[in-house]
Amino acid sequence: MSMPAGYSLPGYGQMVECEPRMGVYAEALRRAITPGCTVIDLGASFGAFALLACKYGAGRVIAIEPDPSIELMMPLAQANGCADRIMVVRDISTRYTPETRADVIVSDCRGTMPLFQHHVATLADARARLLAPGGTLMPMRDTIQAALVHSAKLGRSVTRPWLENRYGMDLAAGYRFAVNSFQKAYLKPKDLVSQPVPIAEVDYRSITEPNLDTSVTLIAERSGPVHGLLLWFDAEIAEGLGYSNAPGAPELVYGQMFLPLDGAPTLAAGGHIALRFRGTLIDGHYVWNWDWQAFTPDGESAGRPVRQSTFLSQIHSPKALASVSNQHIPVLDTRMMLDRDCLALVGDGSSLDAIAKTLHERHPEHLPTYKAALDHASRCLGRYSS
């Protein structure tokens, strides 16, 4: 659906400089584009793929992006001599209905993992509604890999300052949050304790299910403590064209996902971790669960089963939890009242100026000036604009 990603403009710029990622996408576009074809750049940011599509001969390019970075698209298109071939859609892709379907759709809506926000739903919808029969969808597939890792540095980042610190403070209550948090990492092959194991194939030409539930066995190749799991993906953008954010590959903007193992179990060579890994999309964000148990080389249990989840990394106040209970009785407070009255003034053709003046007249005790009323109305209505 290409929701606003919150990246800074320098962050988007880093994507253009990220190799071999950018070079692979460029070559895939060059091969796929035929003179005069229609291309959709999905989650376009400021439109680097859109500009390349024009350079390679596309007749029409639709750049879809709800993030404000899209405002740079047309100045760049004019500078590159292709403004007459580019149409900007400042919205999420699921609300866009094309006049004709595209011959090529290109996107990179991933995060550290391919399963990121509404990525799967976005591409499934684009495949069904926006892509012409026989058209080209980029990326084609991603394969998610997992391995056991030893990293003293990442291990310390989980235990310190919670279980040990130089000031002698007891901060142990914070450990359970730290040990259930994932970190972006850039580890090397030497950090791997096991061989990588593929845990999922994300084929964008057919996938519809955003959630993941898989079980694998990860076998230690050397003895020692295992600080966590490392996950990454091997990307195939088009047939024979791809890249990876694996340890040992060039460092890419995505990084890798490090998930701590509680207690950093020590395995002997030949011992293994039995892992059940799940990713569940909830309210636009993934909750990651990793349930595991360590075993000796003889297959005997080397510890209790452990359940970890990024849900447990979040600190929730009792008040916040109570407010989402189905037994909670909401009380109309001042902000709710002002928002209710503001929204009630929408829909009859009133301008923001008129809405602000009315709010000021009705609630002078809470909005004592026209500017205060205008600021409130702008913030309130801004929550409903995309």
For the CA atoms of the chain, what is the radius of gyration?
Answer: 25
| Cβ-Cβ contacts under 8 Å for 127 (sequence gap 6 or more) | 105, 137, 204, 205
Percent of the chain with pLDDT over 70: 98
Query: So what's the pLDDT on residue 6?
Result: 53
Judged by DSSP in three states, 172 sits in helix
Q: Which of 4-13, 53-62, 100-109, 340-349 has the lowest mean pLDDT?
A: 4-13
Number of helices and strands in the chain (H, E): 11, 17
Pairing mode, if any, of strands 241-244 and 228-238? antiparallel
Percent of the chain with pLDDT over 90: 92
Q: pLDDT tens across 327-380, in order?
A: 999 999 999 999 999 999 999 999 999 999 999 999 999 999 999 999 999 999
Segment 9-32 shows an average pLDDT of 94
The one-character DSSP state at 295 is E
pLDDT-derived band at 10, boundaries 50, 70, 90: confident
Query: So what's the pLDDT on residue 329?
Result: 92
Q: pLDDT tens across 216-247, in order?
A: 999 999 999 999 999 999 999 999 999 999 99
384 vs 194, more confident: 194
Kindly state the tokens that stand for 92: 């999420």
CB contact at 8 A, 332 and 345: no
Query: So what's the pLDDT on residue 13?
Result: 87
Mean pLDDT of all residues belonging to the chain:
95
Asked whether the predicted pLDDT for residue 323 surpasses 60, the reply is yes
CB contact at 8 A, 127 and 204: yes
Asked whether the predicted pLDDT for residue 2 surpasses 50, the reply is no
Q: What phi and psi values does residue 107 have, to the nearest 5 degrees?
A: -160, 160
Query: So what's the pLDDT on residue 318?
Result: 86
